[in-house]
Amino acid sequence: MSCPLCDTPGDTVLWRNDLCRVVLADEPDYPGFLRVILNTHVKEITDLSAADQLAMMRVVFAAEAALREVMQPDKINLASLGNVVPHLHWHVIPRFAGDPHFPNPVWGQKTANGKRHAAPHGETQRAQLEQALSRLLAPVPETESR
């Protein structure tokens, strides 16, 4: 059985390590929409070791922090669904009061609030997100023993 998250990067890769990758999704109404995708085909986070669970969540939290830093959204939505693509991945979605679905989920019914026209994924924004992710996910230096 073919899996789109195994067969392709899943959009523009901003950051990657051996465990997972952070991609900028091609969602025109939602600039900054990120996905944190496990690099191996696993359906549920509880299929991972405890260490890999924590490592993946560290990346999800860093993706949220990078979006808050770069885009200053009104809210961040986190979701791990996998009903359509049963491959472990997290959606990290910056939300703005004027986006087409606010306050509903991005997969829900559009609202009358959709007055804000989403900016395209600019190279500057992409570069800022890449820099923030690299900084937030840099290896923590080990402290010297005393």
- Residue 142 within any structural domain of the chain: no
The confidence score (pLDDT) of residue 59 equals: 97
- Residue 144 within any structural domain of the chain: no
77-84 average pLDDT score: 90
pTM: 0.86
- Residue 70 within any structural domain of the chain: yes
- Residue 146 within any structural domain of the chain: no
- Residue 39 within any structural domain of the chain: yes
C-beta of residue 61 within 8 angstroms of C-beta of residue 92: no
Question: Which domain, by its residues, includes 83?
Answer: 4-136
73-92 average pLDDT score: 93
- Residue 109 within any structural domain of the chain: yes
Instruction: Please state, rounded to an integer, the average pLDDT across all residues of the chain.
Output: 88
Q: How many domains does the chain have?
A: 1
- Residue 145 within any structural domain of the chain: no
128-132 average pLDDT score: 94
* CATH code assigned at 77: 3.30.428.10
- Pairwise pLDDT comparison (140 vs 105), residue with the higher score: 105
pLDDT digits (tens, 9 = 90+) for 1-58: 789 998 888 889 999 999 999 999 988 888 999 999 999 999 999 999 999 999 999 9
Helices (H) and strands (E) in the chain, counts: 3, 5
Where does the pLDDT of residue 78 fall: very low under 50, low under 70, confident under 90, or very high at 90 and above? Answer: very high
The confidence score (pLDDT) of residue 121 equals: 56
Query: What does the alpha-carbon distance between residue 42 and residue 19 come to, in Å, rounded to a whole number?
Result: 11
> Would residue 32 be called left, alpha or beta, if left means φ above 0 and alpha means ψ between -120 and 50 degrees?
left
- Residue 77 within any structural domain of the chain: yes
